Amino acid sequence: MRRHWGIAAVALALLAQPGTAAPTRAPVKKAAPAKSVAKPAPAKPAAKPTAPAFVAPAPLPDTPEIQALRRAFRFGFAPFEMLRTRQLQISRVMAAGMGTGINAMIPRLTLADATTRDVTTPNNDTLYGSAWLDLSQGPIFFSIPDLNRYHSASLMSITGDVVALLGTRTNGRNGGRYAIVGPNWRGDLPAGVEMVRSQSNDAWLLVRVVVNGEEDLAAAADGLTRFTLSAVAGETPLDLAVPLRPNGKAFVTTVNTAIERSGDALLANRAAQFADQGLGKAWDSLTPEQQKLWNDSLPALIHELRAGLVDGDGIDGWVYPPFNMALYGEDDDLRARVALGGLAALPRIEAVYVSASKDGQGRPLTGDKSWRVKIPANLPVGGFWSLTMYSQEPDGRLFFVPNDLNRFAVGDRSQHLRPERDGSIELFVQNAKPSGERVVNWLPAPKGNFVLMFRAYLPGAGLLDGSVRLPPVTEDEMIP
């Protein structure tokens, strides 16, 4: 069964958009005044280059050698993506003259929109604060403010597993003071400070704060900036280039570095199972045949993960997340797929992501038809819910759909929605804008294929145990 789990992938866009504040600890250098220069004559616009067509790599042969390589690859892919994302974000901080980007909270103070193309599956619900932690030198102190709105702070190890989750679900509106420590740290903490232990020295702390409508953005941003970090020691330098499209050497070297720095004995023991494939060994010590196998196989191995995230069979057209989302254990297949399709997924107890690319009869959802999506009344949701529209790229990535309303999602905070008498909400999904009053319940779709993503934060028992399901998407007459 092929699936798309609809993860809120935020890893690559936190510093790519306007509205990103400086770190809470690093000074910002002022730019030098611009020199006055003569304006050149207007140039004729260059023709927009045509993007090359996406070509899938050839499938790999089903041999014992490839099967073993695939297992090693899927074990290492999440640590690779974590270090790659770390490098990308801190390099942007450093380029902006805001310090090293390590052990500092970087808040993004605007919501994602249709221009957000750095990250697949963005959400239009929350602001984010991102901090890459180096716990090898001692504790990092983290404070959550008193906040009367949904918020969460998830701590992820170098494998992408959520090892701690703090916020509304655990503390209500009350804040807290914490010391985040590495796997091998021992010592005493100040009174009133709760210890949170990471499974690895390199960790990612990601804060989410809900925005309850456009007029609420400033208040939500103020709440986000009151999350603070402070470190009592330094960091262990990391000089490592991690490319977006790695060859064998870059992949193996990055995975080995992640494991060596982690301080996680269990992770190191698991990596030893893949010594025959080169993990734990210097690249130059591998045989030419091993190096060639990695170089030749990597594109197809990555594409296999992408294919595994494509939507497929589910229940009434909706695909529900597995129970071990973000708590993977030794499920390297799921961990690797999530790392590709949307790093930083939350566990089901915090958020349930449900996706649909087909209606209840298995027909693909496409904007040249009109569809109805019914959201039942009184869903068991303690935080909030939203339904987001995504256009699907040929390579499987998902992005918002540009439209003249700048409406990318609707939810229980959307004041324009008109419910039915029973409290349910019927949404009209099509490319053409409806006329008249029904535009209030319109979710704009692209002309081609699309994916719907339902998110429920702080889901209740019915959503957690599967006794509450979404009705199937149904085709209906086009609304003129």
Helix boundaries (H) for 310-455: 332-342
In this predicted structure, which of 114-118, 156-160, 388-392 has the lowest mean pLDDT? 114-118
Is pLDDT of 34 > 60? no
Contacts of 465 (CB under 8 A, 6+ apart): none
Least trusted range by pLDDT, from 52-61, 202-211, 274-283, 322-331: 52-61
DSSP SS3 for 372:
strand
* Displacement of CA 66 from its chain's centroid (Å): 29
Mean pLDDT of 409-419: 97
**Given a cut of 50, is residue 464 above it in pLDDT?**
yes
Task: Say if CB 196 and CB 189 are below 8 A apart.
Answer: no
Give the DSSP per-residue string, 121-187.
S--SSEEEEEEEEE-TTS-EEEEE---SS-EEEEEE-TTS-EEEEEEHHHHTT--EEEEEE-TT---
Distance of alpha carbon 87 from alpha carbon 477, whole angstroms? 49
How far apart, in whole angstroms, are the C-alpha atoms of residue 172 and residue 174? 5
For range 179-198, the mean pLDDT = 97
> For the chain, what percent of residues have pLDDT higher than 90?
80
Rounded-to-integer distance, Cα 333 and Cα 17, Å: 32
| pLDDT, averaged across the chain | 89
Q: Tell me the whole-structure pTM to 2 decimals.
A: 0.88
Binned at pLDDT 50, 70 and 90, residue 233 comes out as: confident
Residue 406: how many other CB atoms lie within 10 Å? 12
- The count of residues in the chain is 480
Calculated CA dihedral for residues 9, 14, 15, 18, nearest 10 degrees: 110
Of the listed ranges 183-187, 199-203, 324-328, 395-399, the least confidently predicted one is 395-399
Report which of 332, 347, 369, 344 is spatially closest to residue 255, judged by C-alpha positions.
Answer: 332
- CA-based nearest residue to 400, from 12, 119, 85: 119
Q: Which of 337-355 are b and which e, b meaning 16 or more Cβ less than 10 Å from the residue's Cβ?
A: bbbbbbbbbbbbbbbbbbb
Contacts of 222 (CB under 8 A, 6+ apart): none
Residue 265: strand, helix, or coil: helix
Which pLDDT does position 169 carry in this prediction?
Answer: 97
Q: Letter for the amino acid at 92?
A: R
Neighbour tally for 20: CB within 10 Å: 21
Taking the C-alpha atoms of residue 16 and residue 24, their distance in angstroms, rounded to an integer, is 18
Least confident range from 49-53, 378-382, 414-418: namely: 49-53
Look at residue 38 and tell me whether its pLDDT is greater than 90.
no
Assess whether pLDDT exceeds 90 at residue 282.
Answer: yes
Asked whether residue 474 carries a pLDDT value surpassing 60, the answer given is yes
pLDDT tens across 334-368, in order?
A: 999 999 877 899 999 999 999 999 999 999 999 99
Q: What is the pLDDT of residue 117?
A: 79
pLDDT digits (tens, 9 = 90+) for 425-448: 999 999 999 988 999 999 999 999
Residue with tokens 């690093």: 26
* 205-210: average pLDDT: 97
301 neighbors 72 (Cβ within 8 angstroms): no
pLDDT for the residue 24: 55
pLDDT tens digits along 42-96: 444 444 445 556 688 999 999 999 999 999 999 999 999 999 999 999 999 999 9
End-to-end C-alpha distance for the chain, whole angstroms: 37
For 109-143, the pLDDT digits (tens) are 999 999 987 667 889 999 999 999 999 999 999 99
Residue 258 has pLDDT above 70, yes or no: yes
The pair of three-digit structure tokens given for residue 144, joined into one six-digit string? 């959550």
Give me the pLDDT at residue 21, please: 62
Distance, in Å, from the CA atom of 378 to the CA atom of 321, rounded to the nearest integer, reads 21
Give residue 22's pLDDT: 59
Residue 465 has pLDDT above 80, yes or no: yes
Give yes or no for a contact between 422 and 433, defined as CB atoms under 8 angstroms apart: no
What is the average per-residue pLDDT within 372-382? Answer: 97
From the number of C-beta atoms within 10 Å of its C-beta (0-12, 13-18, 19+), residue 460 rates as middle
Gyration radius of the chain's alpha carbons:
23
